[in-house]
Amino acid sequence: MTQTNYSQLLDDYGFKNGITLKNRVVMAPMTNFSSNEDGTVSKPEIDYYIRRSKGVGMVITACVYVSRSGKGFPGEFGADSDELIPSLRELADAIKGQGAKAVLQIFHGGRQCPPDLLPDGQTVSASSVPAELPGGGQGPVPRTLTDEEIQVIIADFGAATRRAITAGFDGVEIHGANGYLVQQFFSPHSNLREDRWGGSLEKRLTFPLAVLREVKRVVSEYASSPFLVGYRFSPEEPETPGITMAETFALIDALKGEGLDYLHASLMELWSLPRRGTEDSRPRIEQIVDRAGAVPVIGVGSLYTAEDALKSLDTGIDLVALGRPLLMEPDWVQKVAEGRASEIKTELDPAAQGELVIPDPLWGAITNTPGWVPVKA
């Protein structure tokens, strides 16, 4: 097929704040478990990002913890201290040096953090409700955050944003998805509070909106050039009670009301259908795009081929994010641009770790998690 079939994917894209991407393909945020013990970015990690930053218009990094109480993964890099700014700058420079915009995803793991990664071994959350684990059973019981601690974490999101600006990133993405702390405050499953941080739907929105306001305040104070602020969210939760589509629409409305540069819907399958909270039977992503109105939406979810990615634009999304596809095929965008879309690899070659520049910890995670990434037989 000729590249003209895919020209829509390769068109540049301009955000309202003046930042322009060279195409509409984004590297999705993916944890790679490969940072140094002190929270700095490792050399294998830098190489991994360089290998994947050349084709895409924008790279959203793996999440960084904004507080030491929020470290969610072994080998996660940090943004909780000014000492980490040089490390963050090295990563931003590496991504931007390949021609992509660099966005830092900022995060607190809340009740999902492994206790052995935390200074005091104690997970925290909106309430003392353990997470339901995918295979059954429950995670550790978190300690309920005090009002004062909540305000410190909000300030931590702001401080991490200042560090991202200083380090030369083009934006930050607030990680309000995948069951981490920002989502824990919004969810009726994990937030049973009866103070200003919980109770009604409106009060469960207080923490996510306070984080967004603080991030925006810091951007207006410290950024001397256009700087993106995005928000990633999971449209629904499987738990009962849990976030429904109706509550997702309320979240989108509230975020729109505050003003932000984009919304990023976290989905395993882009065309997945809603569970509850809407009478509309269309895929969630189409309903999200409708609700977002003028706010740009990034869509993600099992878009392996160029055909998948092109078709995804029919949902109305503005940008296409690729996570697992770029693990298997770092040259995805280049192959599309060169009319070689048929050569895009959609399965991981077990013998190609070196060529794919995947750090050992991430390679181990991929190969030990059957079903996460399609593997070539």
Instruction: Give the model confidence (pLDDT) of 116-135 as tens digits.
Output: 999 999 999 999 999 999 88
Q: Catalytic pick from 6, 48, 180, 262?
A: 180
Q: What is the pLDDT of residue 1?
A: 42
Instruction: Give the model confidence (pLDDT) of 210-251 as tens digits.
Output: 999 999 999 999 999 999 999 999 999 999 899 999 999 999
Domains, the chain, ranges and CATH? 3-367 (3.20.20.70)
Q: Which of 160, 243, 283 is nearest to 252 (CA)?
A: 243
Q: How far apart, in whole angstroms, are the C-alpha atoms of residue 145 and residue 82?
A: 25
Residue 160 has pLDDT above 80, yes or no: yes
**Which of 17-26, 211-220, 362-371 is predicted least confidently?**
362-371
With cut-offs at 50, 70 and 90, classify the pLDDT of residue 5: confident
Q: What angle do CA 195, 197, 199 make, to 5 degrees?
A: 65
Q: What is the pLDDT of residue 377?
A: 85
Q: What is the pLDDT of residue 207?
A: 99
Residue 3 has pLDDT above 60, yes or no: no
Q: Report the residue count for the chain.
A: 377
Residue 4 has pLDDT above 60, yes or no: no
Return the SS3 of 240: coil
Q: Look up residue 148 and give its two tokens.
A: 């004062």
Q: How far apart, in whole angstroms, are the C-alpha atoms of residue 207 and residue 190?
A: 13
Q: How far apart, in whole angstroms, are the C-alpha atoms of residue 108 and residue 171?
A: 18
Are 216 and 265 a contacting pair, CB within 8 Å?
no
Instruction: Give the model confidence (pLDDT) of 24-66 as tens digits.
Output: 999 999 999 999 999 999 999 999 999 999 999 999 999 999 9
Contacts with 49 (C-beta within 8 Å, 6 or more apart), sequence order: 59, 61, 91, 94, 95
- Tell me, what amino acid is at 29? P
Instruction: Give the model confidence (pLDDT) of 252-303 as tens digits.
Output: 999 999 999 999 999 999 999 999 999 999 999 999 999 999 999 999 999 9
- Tell me, what amino acid is at 89? R
Rounded alpha-carbon distances, angstroms, from residue 59 to 50, 81, 85, 173: 10, 23, 18, 11
Overall average pLDDT of the 344-369 stretch = 96
Q: What is the pLDDT of residue 134?
A: 86
Helix, strand and coil content of the chain, in percent to the nearest 5, comes to 40, 15, 45
Overall average pLDDT of the 133-149 stretch = 95
The question of whether 180 is a catalytic residue gets the answer yes
Sign of CA dihedral 201, 65, 371, 373: positive
